[in-house]
Structures are given as structure tokens and as C-alpha cells.
Amino acid sequence: MSTEHPCVITIDKRSRPRVLFSGDQLVEVDLPVGSRVIYAKKPKAALRDPDAATRYALHHPMGTEPLYAKLRPGMRVTIAIDDLSMPLPAMKAPDVRQRVIEPVVELLDQHGVDDVELIIATAFHRPMTEKEIKHTVGRKTFDRFWPERLYNHDAERPGGLTHLGTTEDGIEVEINSRAASSDLIIYVNLTFVPMNGGHKSVGTGLVGYRTLQGHHTPYSIRESGSYMEPARSGLSKRMERVGKLINSKVEVFTIETTVNNRMFDRPLDILAKNEDDLSDGEWKLLRGLVKTLKVLPQPARQAIFEKVPAPYEMIAVNAGETETVHAETLRVVHQQLSVPVTGQSDIVVFPIPYISPYNVGAFLNPLLVSVMAEGYLHNLHRNAPLLKKGGTMIIMHPCSDKFDREQHPAYVEFFHRFLTQTRDAEELHKKYEREFAKNPSYIQLYRSGKAYHPAHPFYMWYWGENGRQHRGRVIVVGADNEYVPGVLGYETASTMAEALRMAKETAPKDPDITCFRICPLLMADVTPSPED
């Protein structure tokens, strides 16, 4: 079996089948000889003492004075915290955010700062539950501050936002009023993928529709070579302008962490390995899991994966000035995630797993399937897409017509009403978004229930816009209906062999085929070959 990078293997006659995610199922797939499969790197070693590293970062920040030097009695401090959308799935306790928050609160206490509130920076995501917040911040912080001084950001609370100004490209910037009136915002971030962190933290997490509509647009995504690569991301550039304006009005002390990709604990850690490297006993265990999942009901299948916290470990923590800190965070993130790949492919296989940042504790609905395929997975690259322009995506997912009515009520109407009329992101943006974003019923479910904001499904459709502009066909393997793929503009095939046959009809002779074997998380660092 030939290799380029150790994480990129080429299928030969001795290769075992690949075991790939299709929602909450695992499916054995025989890929043609000569196909490439890209695997995640092995997890980087954890910091030897993450608590000591956190305290060191607070006392030796980048680009600014230490946190303690900024504190004085009587000042007003807001700690903003990334929500549960990262990492996936939730990590074992203690969460890295707990490790950061506790020494920060200790410093505030030591310097007589008692006007302190903690805000979960949810933006238009669903509110986190008490249990989820307690897991994220830890029992000590939760018991002290919940609920009066520890709560979810509410982007629709009357009078809850303060206007700070307008960016040079016309984005109206308003943020959470408590944060805006603070002497200091301390932002506690977990950068799991390169699109997170930096100026996006405050400039998305603590704002409302007036600001989000300025950068969460189909145009921003179309201007992005990959929104996972900030230097080539129109989205990132717009959010950077928002963040700079905020930082010019309110002092922000950024604390960023990142973790390795140790997604699975035993015995599920076999899912992270190359099938050809498994012992006979591990291979038997993996095939047994495949068979077991086939006979279990859907909720039980999802519970097997979701109910077991991931053993992620902190591999970096830095604090200080936003841009300086984020540059170092991204360096470490790419050390963990980026796999060098030579050459693009005519056909790319994307297994779609059961989870995304937007369905924690819920079913991966059809709209989020498209987000994962044409959004997240397509954009998990640097330099160039893994798929050649006009190439074929083969995705694996049942595409069930199923929505969580508690988390995603607005998604149901968006999918069945709007997408059945048009898939044109620009038309959806101009014709429907603003009015739908003000729907009082959906807003009330966002404010008092467990629902995403009504604008959120629009943003999710835009998230796949550069993937849709780049790819040719999308063929779904394993769909349990024709309706959902039809609404999304996808074709269907009953098997991988049939999907490959269909893809080859419009591909060059002897097409290049690559399988992006996720999970765990990875990125393709693509160097195009001369013929690409």
C-alpha cells in the first residue's frame, strides 16, 4: 500500500473495507483500488499541566499587560463564554472553559472586582440548558453565579443591545448591553476549527440581527475560498472589521484554548484508526458495532455516540490581545488538524456523521446535512478544495425527513416552504430572510424555549454557498427517501458502487477518487498538482 503523508493511504487489493459514518449508522464500503483515503492525525499530546498553563497565560499575555494589572475594585467586568457548539461531542469534565473561568474569577476576587456577570455567547444558537451550562463552567462557578449573573445571551431582549458604531463597509455594530457597558470584557474561547475564535468571538456571539445580517450573508460565503481559512475568507474579513470596532470601544481581553482530536474513548477509539491497522480482534469488534447499530432504533444509535463524553485534552491556551492570541491559536489548530494532500480529486466521498455544531442533543435534520456536506466538510481545506471545480460529491446519509421540533421549529418551515420554491441563496436572502427573522412565534421559542433563532436556517443555507458554487453533482448513498435529496438538488444511489458508476459518467476517464474519512476532525491541506 503506497502512501504520501502517513494519514493519506491508497486502496489496494489487500485493503479492508472502509467503515464510514452515515448519520448514526456505520457502513462498510469497498472503494476502488487506487482510491485515496484521508485520515485524521493522531492526537497531539496534552499540556502537562493545563491549569498551570492557564495561569501562566493570564499572567504572561500576548500583546498587552497581565490580566491582574487591568483589575481594580469597583470596576464592571463581563466574562463571555463560547457555547456548546464546540467541541463535538461535549468533552469530559472538566471542560476547558471551566479550567479558564475558575482562575479568572479568583483573580477578580483577589482584586476586589465584584460587579461580575458571565454570559454564554450564543448569538442566534439555541439557549444552553442549566445542565449544559453547569458542565461547561463547572459546579463551583455555576452555584455561585446562576441564574442572575450567569445566563445565555438574548439577542432579542428589548433594550438588550447597545449600538457602538458602523464599520467602514457599512455593518451596524451593536452588542449585548451588559458587555457594552463594562470596563472589561474577558472572552473565554475554545477554537475547535479555524473559522472560530479571534474577532468572531464577540462580533458574533454577543450581537443581534442588525450586526449578523451584515456578515452572515451568501455574498460573504461566495467571497470565501474557504471560510476555514481566514486569509481567504470574506466572512472572516467582515467579522474582523466588526471585532476591531468593538475592541476600539470596549476593552477586550481574549483567552483562547484549543484541544486535540481525541474524539473517541475506549472502546469506540477504534473508529479513529485506519481499518488496515486494526488487529483481528479490533476488526471483529468494529464489524460487530456495524451490525449492532443496524438493529437498534435511531434514538439508541445516537445515544451510543452522544452520551459518551469525548476525552479531548487541552493542547494550547493563550491570552491577551485578540489578533495576536488568535494567530498562535490557529498555528496549533493546524498542527493538529491539517493533513498534507497532493492533488485535487474528480470525486470526493464525504461520510456525514450524526453530529454538527447545530444539533447538539437533536437529530441531524436535512438542512444540516447540506450544511455538513457543502459547508463544513467542503470547507475543511487550505489552499485549494479537495474537490476539483465541477467535480462530484458523494455523501453518505439517510437524509430522513425528520426535524427536532424543540430546537429547530423554524427549520421545518424554511425547508418545506422556502427551499421547495428556490435554492437560490441570493433570492432567499432578499425575498424572505428579513421578514422571517422577525417572526414573533419563532422569536419567542428562541427567547424562552430551546430553539434556534428564525434567521438561523437562512444562515445555514448560506453556509454551503461556496460548496454549491464549486461542485457539480451531489449523489447521496443510503437515503431513505427521494423527497429530501430532491429538495436539496441531490441525486440518489442505493450503494457506493452505483454512486461511483453515476459519478464516472460525467468525470474524466480514470477519475481521481478521494474519501475524506471523518471522524475525528481533520483538514485537507491541498497542494494542487500541475494538471488540476
Q: For 302-345, give the secondary structure using H, E and C.
A: HHHHHCCCECCCEEEEEEECHHHHHHHHHHHHHHHHEEEEECCE
Residue 126 confidence (pLDDT): 98
Nearest of 47, 42, 44 to residue 5 by alpha carbon = 42
Report helix, strand or coil for 408: coil
Tens of pLDDT, residue by residue over 147-161, are 999 999 999 999 999
pLDDT average, residue stretch 346-355: 97
Distance, CA of 236 to CA of 229 (rounded, Å): 8
pTM flag (> 0.75): yes
Residue 267 confidence (pLDDT): 87
Tens of pLDDT, residue by residue over 64-103, are 999 999 999 999 999 999 999 999 999 999 999 999 999 9
Tens of pLDDT, residue by residue over 506-517, are 999 999 999 999
Quickly list DSSP for 255-284: EEEEE------TTGGGGGS-GGGS-HHHHH
Q: Write the CB contacts of 302 (distance below 8 Å, at least 6 apart in sequence).
A: 24, 354, 363
pLDDT average, residue stretch 39-62: 98
Confidence grade of residue 1 (pLDDT, cut at 50, 70, 90) = very low
Look-up: residue for cell 440518489? 492
The radius of gyration of the chain from alpha carbons, rounded to an integer in Å, stands at 23
Distance, CA of 233 to CA of 400 (rounded, Å): 32
Confidence grade of residue 3 (pLDDT, cut at 50, 70, 90) = low
Do the beta carbons of residue 169 and residue 238 sit within 8 Å?
yes
Confidence grade of residue 529 (pLDDT, cut at 50, 70, 90) = confident
Alpha helices in 385-527 (DSSP H): 409-413, 425-428, 434-437, 440-448, 456-463, 465-470, 483-488, 496-504
β pairing state of 161-166 and 172-176: antiparallel
Residue 6 confidence (pLDDT): 96
Element (H, E) at 398: none
Distance, CA of 457 to CA of 433 (rounded, Å): 9
Residue 481 confidence (pLDDT): 98
Please tell me the chain's helix, strand, coil percentages from 3-state DSSP, rounded to the nearest 5.
Answer: 40, 20, 40
pLDDT average, residue stretch 178-182: 98
Phi, psi of 212 (to 5 degrees): -60, -35
Cell numbers given for 17: 473495507
Confidence grade of residue 4 (pLDDT, cut at 50, 70, 90) = confident
Q: Is the pLDDT of residue 480 over 50?
A: yes
Rounded to the nearest integer, the mean pLDDT of the chain is: 97
Tens of pLDDT, residue by residue over 221-272, are 999 999 999 999 999 999 999 999 999 999 999 999 999 999 999 889 999 9
Query: What sign results for the dihedral spanned by CA atoms 15, 16, 17, 23?
Result: negative
Alpha helices in 71-163 (DSSP H): 96-110, 130-137, 139-145
Tens of pLDDT, residue by residue over 114-124, are 999 999 999 99
How much of the chain, in percent, has pLDDT values that exceed 70?
99
